[in-house]
Chain A
Amino acid sequence: MAASQPDSVYDQVVQVTHAYLGPTADRFIARQVEDHLHKSPSELSQADLLSLIDWIKAVVSLLTEDGDIIEEYTNELRKLAARTGGKHG
């Protein structure tokens, strides 16, 4: 849906999300970035990740009441934020 470079921050977030939301992951993350961070998905940077994770946690809570799944998903995103923090400085 969004034009992205390989291994971009956005791609990595979608990859993590895909395990939980399936094929809708791309559209879901793009919508969160556009609606809550007010930028296009290709502009998503490492500095935006923590803020994005907070929004994702709030939104996913509307979709499921399974706290364990929500916690697991956001932990994976936080690990990604820690990893990309080293790569993208």
Chain B
Amino acid sequence: MTKQAIKTLKQTARRIVTNAMPGFVFLALLYTLLIFILPVSHEAMSAYRLSPIEYRIIFLAVSLPSLMVWFVAFMGSDRLRQYAASIGKTSEGSHFAALARGATLLAWSLPLPALIALLANFDLGSLASAKNPYFLPVWLVVVSVIIPYLYAWFVGLLAVIFSSIALQYLNGIRPSPGYLTLDYRLLLTLIFRILGGAGFVMLIIGAGRLKKIEEV
């Protein structure tokens, strides 16, 4: 019974990681749940003069663009994976499969730091710490992706990588505190997230066009 349960759990986890939409739904729901169940930051509440429910609603509202970018990122990696699967038996199939795996890693690298920051804020003592929350290293984001020969993909990929590096730099110089901050950092974060989202949109378009060539 226990072995069967563990096997089912592993299969479910594998499905969530490898299939884009279940992964996105899981992460988005988890993030939303954490916003509403974790303790709010009293400092941020008093700074902006918000009640706990107002704080949570505004936090969710400013997170919505990020959630939309996560959705686009997971869609992009999924389209890429579908195209790679359609040409799996060809000479370039393995390379596109590697590209799809890299794009999946990129997609997962977007929500994970946000979730970690939320959970890190749960321990109020960490606010006084000089240590940064753990983020995925830039080399993992950059090295995993093979630059494609289509210009749209290349530009899209550059946008995604640039935005990831920019966001990690932003979080490096001033770590994400895991609570609501309505300052220049939020604006910059949104700009770079949208840029990354635009990159994934170009990946979706590129993958769609390549897939169409294989179908007509």
Interface residues of A, count at CB 8 A = 11
Residue with the greatest number of chain A CB neighbours at <10 A, chosen from B210, B212, B216: B216
| Complex CA–CA separation, A22 to B92 (angstroms) | 11
Segment 107-160 of B: residues with Cβ below 8 Å from A: 149
Tell me whether B212 and A24 are in contact (CB under 8 A): no
Which of A27, A59, A62 lies in contact with B214, CB distance below 8 A? A27
| Complex CA–CA separation, A59 to B215 (angstroms) | 10
Tell me whether A59 and B216 are in contact (CB under 8 A): yes
Contacts of B87 in A (CB 8 A): 24, 27
Interface of A, helix, strand, loop or mixed by DSSP: helix
Q: Closest A-chain residue to B215, C-beta based?
A: A31
- Any B CB within 8 A of the CB of A19: no
Q: How many A-B residue pairs have CB under 8 A?
A: 22
| Complex CA–CA separation, A68 to B91 (angstroms) | 30
Tell me whether A28 and B213 are in contact (CB under 8 A): yes
Contacts of B212 in A (CB 8 A): 62-63
Give chain B nearest CB distance to A70 CB in angstroms: 13
Tell me whether B216 and A63 are in contact (CB under 8 A): yes
Contacts of A63 in B (CB 8 A): 209, 212-213, 216
- Any A CB within 8 A of the CB of B90: yes
- Any B CB within 8 A of the CB of A3: no
| Complex CA–CA separation, A24 to B104 (angstroms) | 24
Tell me whether B90 and A1 are in contact (CB under 8 A): yes
Contacts of B213 in A (CB 8 A): 21, 24, 28, 63
Known: A24-B87, A31-B216. 5 other contacts (CB 8 A): A1-B90, A24-B213, A27-B87, A59-B216, A63-B212
Q: List 9 A-B contacts (CB under 8 A).
A: A1-B90, A23-B91, A24-B210, A24-B214, A28-B213, A31-B216, A63-B212, A63-B213, A63-B216
The 9 closest A-B pairs by CB, nearest first: A59-B216, A23-B92, A24-B213, A62-B216, A63-B213, A22-B149, A63-B212, A28-B213, A21-B213
Residues of B within 8 A of A (CB): 87, 90-92, 149, 209-210, 212-214, 216
